[in-house]
A and B are shown apart, each in its own frame.
Chain A
Amino acid sequence: MFIVGSHAPGPRRGNHAYQLTFSSGEFLALYQKYQILVFLGETGSGKTTQIPQFVLFDDLPQKTGKMVACTQPRRVAAMSVAQRVADEMDVQLGQEVGYSIRFEDNTSPNTILKYMTDGMLLREAMNDHNLSRYSTIILDEAHERTLATDILMGLLKDVVERRPDLKLIIMSATLDATKFQKYFNMAPLLAVAGRTYPVEIFYTPVAERDYLEASLRTVLQIHATEAEGDILLFLTGEEEIEDACKKINLEAQDLIREDAAGPLVVYPLYGSLPPAQQQKIFSPAPPPLKPGGRPGRKVIVSTNIAETSLTIDGIVYVVDPGFSKQKIYNPRIRVESLLVTPISKASAQQRAGRAGRTRPGKCFRLYTEESFKKDLIEQTYPEVLRSNLSSTVLELKKLGVDDLVHFDLMDPPAPETLMRALEELNYLACLDDEGELTALGKLASAFPLDPALAVMLITSPEFYCSNEMLTLTAMLSVPQVFVRPANNRQRADEMKQLFAHPDGDHITMLNVYHAFKSDEAQENPKQWCHDHFLSYRALQQADNIRMQLKRIMEREELELMSTPFTHKKYYENIRRALVAGFFMQVARREGNGKNYTTVKDEQSVLLHPSTVLAQNDEWVVYNEFVLTSKNYIRNVTSVKPEWLLDIAPNYYDLDAFKEGETKKALQRVANKMARQTDNGTR
């Protein structure tokens, strides 16, 4: 999870409020007149903190016992903005102004302004279809088009028709304005200018052969030849960024030694970076080596998290190779790819805009102007077009949206993606054959989890291991717990072997959690994690999520139990429970090779190199199927084919199987099982 928000506390920010670039009068006139308002303003125009306050003082929601809600795509933003607004209004955070994010609710009955993640508002809508607690709803950062914001917009379009007293404000950066306006039935549009300076755009005259090298050259060239000002370089991933930082550092030292340039510091910035290191990007550029010498400069090498909502003061030069890593889901083979792809035009403009925050800047694009016009798509694909929608469909069903085909989304997903989601939910028995929500489906929607995980958790009491599955679910909901630093890979792998279990990665994760909770580790958990190459942050988060999920389990009256550790079926039960949720994510080994084939979709895959599993189990269940450099299945555990037939007879209905090796193998198992039961009855 990304920690540095747009409103990260920094010495520069202090307590001074943003000076608004627009008057409240114009805004309030429109606000009073119309039910829906589209408000366009650049980041930094102060809209996130000011507009909700205007609304508050005009609307006075406390009179009717209602609230104003303002959604944010990121948790940290919701928290820090709430804090700032509470300060500005001189109230205590959690009283009149509060926030609500997943697993944390800092509000009180007095709260009249509530900052929350868009996902939280969506969850609230599941229990209160009309969102009757709110008098005004503000959707902030709508241009980011997160899945939750998109769904909320579709829902609220309906809600405002049912509730004429509800007001809706969509706040967005100046992207795609007409689309927003058209979508909201030509709602009035109020645009305010951001306080940005012009940015001069430069293109390369010809295409670059190696964008990585070109970007390093450009950074060094800027450092050697351009006036004072910090540099922001956009690259695609952690590895690439760390590598680039190293190389820039080396070459910069060279430059400095030859007295060709001032001092240079390089900071990486990506999501999985620890928060303390993320904060470093806000430190000022180094001073000149000697008084009156050439000025120092800082370079930030970042993924596209620095593209939106993150303001780093002092950036004057932006280097944009035109790529980013994107997650894209393919419903046909159910693979999620995480690949380097060209960015969109809108994204490129956003990147360039980062250079004009403090003074006129320059943006160096490492592609030709022709490429910009021809090779880049207009807008980045919103999340709803790039994701597996099974949990969204479950949510929509719970929200009372039955006609999924005509649900009015700003960008409707591909029909095949919706079909896949429906089918997955049907196999999980969350939807019946008519497409109606089942009792299990209703229960599953109570968990803020992927449906497969939710179902696994709900059915785990049947396998006498709900405590373990609770832990496992929490561990699967956090980012990678195993740390593998580039300079110490071998040692990290050795440490991982300490926890490894021959049955696979899921049980290895359980071992990690149990070891983390042991007395020995809890004495000094931070040090322990460091010694064992584990992410303390991720484990802590997992612990937190486990607690929240436990609360939901208790609320839903699901029994919490464990098979005694000494029992010989301890591990078998866990693996069986795993199959109950992930029977659609099973692969079978092809002959004696390294290749596996996914069941039904018949895609050739490899076990991810990070697995602890020896490569000789015929049947494995996997947590995810990703395409990075190859088709990989990640987090795998070996299972027995008998369990598949036994636990998920619907999915493993052999009559519906395509002819092939998998079917033959399953048929053999089925015959054997039939013989055994015959023998048993006789």
Chain B
Amino acid sequence: MGLAGPKNRTRISNDPQNTTWSNNTSRFGHKILTSQGWTPGSSLGATDAAHAAHYTAASSSHIRVLLKDDNLGLGAKRGSETAENFGLAGLASILGRLNGNEEAVKKEEERREKVEQRAYVYRKYGLMNFVSGGFLVGGEIKPKNEIQVKKEIEIKEEIESESGGDEKKSKKRKRSRDIKEEEDEDAQAEQPKLKRKKKSMNLRGEEVDPPQDSSSKTKKSKKDKKDKDKKDKKSSKSSSTDTPTPISSTTTPTSTDPLTDKARRKAEKRARKEEKKLKKALKKAAKEAAAAQQSNPAASDDASSESEDEETTTTTTPGSSVPTSGVATPASGGMMFGSGGRHGVRQRYIRQKKMAGMDPQALKEIFMVKTPS
């Protein structure tokens, strides 16, 4: 734990290993052992024992112990959490930008934001992720492909069904792409023009900054997604295998500001582009996940594939400066168990209300404000 961790003061003796005793060779025990033919440094036991190869280190010296005074899981290292970063991540991004790596920094920030938003969803129960490690048959672990044919078929079916789902998804994506295609083409063709226009627009000092608008939109769509995820989970956590589907097609312009037609279109395009990027990233993540866990359909039984994607993406980028995502249990998850069950429900309720209050669209719906479309 860093500076904020609990402080445990322990007093260490002057000679914690008691070398005074162990280095003393005139002791009774030492004398008896050497008189029976033991030499310092050798282990006890029958001479030339057939099973001597199976002796462990504990046969030559006593077992060393470590005082474990935390709940750190097996293999987890202290200080691998983000909590210890003290805002260094923010500094890194500033430095990155100053160094001219704007693209990379932006990507990283987006990714981080996404991860955090997802984490929010899992905070409720913090979905546990598992990867299959094969089957234990009679004391030995066997990889899946060695299990009897029957099992294999089952697994294959599962895989097929999953891949089928993928196909569907890609079809869906295609469809949405078709809808957008025209506009996109336009956009591609007009890109240089657009850039110029943007500049001029800024110079003119129009009241609405298009990039801002687009970002708010993506945020909103993300929020939608979150809500959707929540609903998914609420519906008895059925194994929802759908990766986030494009929502943009249904979004209606939220800003009531009178926008110029051009500006609006531009904003829309931007939003779309943004979304495309996001989708691409997701797709890539999904592919990676699939590659990493090719023969692992079972894991998706208990973990929605989306979360898997998240996990794998984060694990495949261990070099990134965001280790939070590298830990399966979200940081603030502790509060769930800290507060009692009833309080938990209440907190959730309050949270939902707050979220509704923050969402302008939802607010409008609540106050029945009509928006000029």
Contact = CB atoms under 8 A, between A and B. Distances in A.
Interface of A: 42, 173-176, 178-179, 182-183, 185-186, 193-194, 196, 198-214, 216-218, 220-222, 224-226, 247, 250-251, 253-254, 257-258, 260-261, 321-323, 328-333, 337, 339-342, 349, 352-353, 356, 363-372, 374-379, 381, 385-386, 403-423, 426, 433, 435, 595, 597, 600-604, 627, 629-630, 658
13 contacts: A174-B138, A199-B135, A203-B130, A204-B130, A205-B315, A206-B328, A207-B75, A213-B126, A329-B62, A371-B74, A379-B56, A407-B44, A408-B49
Given A207-B327, A214-B128, A254-B345, A202 B299 contact: yes
A25 B59 CA distance: 40
A371 to B, nearest CB: 3
B18 A207 contact: no
Given A201-B141, A423-B28, A216 B54 contact: no
B236 to A, nearest CB: 6
A637 B60 CA distance: 36
Given A213-B329, A349-B141, A418-B33, A629 B13 contact: no
B75 A371 contact: yes
Nearest to B302: A225
A419 B132 contact: no
Contacts of A378: 56
Contact of A321 (B20, B73, B133, B299): B73
Nearest to B325: A206
Interface in B324-362: 326-329, 331, 333-334, 336-337, 340-341, 344-345
Nearest to B67: A339
A412 B55 contact: yes
A435 B33 CA distance: 10
Given A364-B128, A411-B55, 20 more contacts: A185-B50, A206-B328, A207-B76, A208-B327, A209-B329, A224-B125, A226-B301, A258-B234, A331-B62, A342-B74, A349-B136, A353-B136, A385-B59, A405-B36, A412-B59, A415-B33, A415-B43, A426-B28, A604-B12, A604-B13
Contacts of A203: 130-133
A312 B30 CA distance: 48
Contacts of A604: 11-13
B59 A422 contact: no
A177 B325 CA distance: 42
B271 to A, nearest CB: 32
Interface-centre pick from A213, A329, A372, A418 (highest chain B CB count, 10 A): A213
Nearest to A628: B67
Nearest to B19: A332
Interface string B295-339: 000110110000000011001000000000011110101101100
A244 to B, nearest CB: 10
B203 interface: no
Contacts of A337: 65
Which 5 A-B residue pairings sit nearest by Cβ, starting from the closest? Answer: A419-B29, A208-B73, A371-B75, A412-B45, A202-B130
B11 to A, nearest CB: 5
Given A353-B136, A411-B59, A221 B125 contact: yes
A412 B43 contact: yes
Contact of A213 (B37, B71, B127): B71
A209 B45 contact: no
A329 B65 CA distance: 10
A333 B45 contact: no
Q: Which of A207, A211, A381, A415 has the most CB of B within 10 A?
A: A415
A366 B42 CA distance: 38
Given A253-B341, A321-B74, A202 B65 contact: no
Nearest to A329: B62
A194 B50 contact: no
A250 B125 contact: no
A413 B44 CA distance: 7
Given A209-B327, A412-B43, A201 B136 contact: yes
Interface string B135-171: 1111111000001000100000000000000000000
Nearest to A426: B28
Nearest to B342: A254
A404 B51 contact: no
Contacts of B299: 202
Contacts of B74: 207-208, 211, 321-323, 342, 366-367, 371, 375-376
B90 to A, nearest CB: 22
Contacts of B12: 604
A250 B340 contact: yes
A225 B237 contact: yes
A222 B302 contact: yes
A370 B315 contact: no
A217 B237 contact: no
B100 interface: no
A261 B133 CA distance: 27
Contacts of A597: 13
Contacts of B204: none
Contacts of A367: 73-75
B17 interface: yes
Given A198-B137, A205-B312, A352-B136, A627 B50 contact: no
A196 B140 CA distance: 12
Contact of B50 (A186, A220, A352): A186
Contacts of B129: 204-205
Contacts of A202: 130-133, 298-299
Contacts of B63: 328, 330, 381, 385-386
A369 B133 contact: yes
Nearest to A254: B341
A204 B128 contact: yes
Contacts of A186: 50
B56 A218 contact: no
Contacts of A205: 129-131, 311-312, 315, 328
A214 B73 contact: yes
A601 B68 contact: no
Contact of B58 (A212, A374, A411, A418): A411
Contacts of B334: 210, 213
Given A210-B334, A603-B16, A385 B58 contact: yes
B28 A422 contact: yes
B141 A204 contact: no
Nearest to A248: B337
A596 to B, nearest CB: 11
Nearest to A377: B56
Given A250-B341, A406-B47, A204 B328 contact: yes
B368 interface: no
A372 B73 CA distance: 12
B291 to A, nearest CB: 14
A602 B44 contact: no
A293 to B, nearest CB: 12
B141 A406 contact: no
B50 A183 contact: yes
Nearest to B130: A202
A331 B17 CA distance: 10
A406 B28 contact: no
Given A201-B133, A629-B67, A630-B10, A414 B50 contact: no
A200 B137 CA distance: 9
A407 B33 contact: no
Contacts of B151: 198
Contacts of A409: 44-45
Contacts of B20: 602, 658
A369 B134 CA distance: 10
Given A225-B302, A339-B68, A366-B73, A415 B127 contact: no
Contacts of B43: 412, 414-415
A630 B147 CA distance: 48
Contacts of B147: 198
Contacts of A353: 136, 139
B38 interface: yes
Contact of A210 (B21, B72, B77, B136): B72
B18 A224 contact: no
Given A204-B131, A415-B38, A433 B28 contact: yes
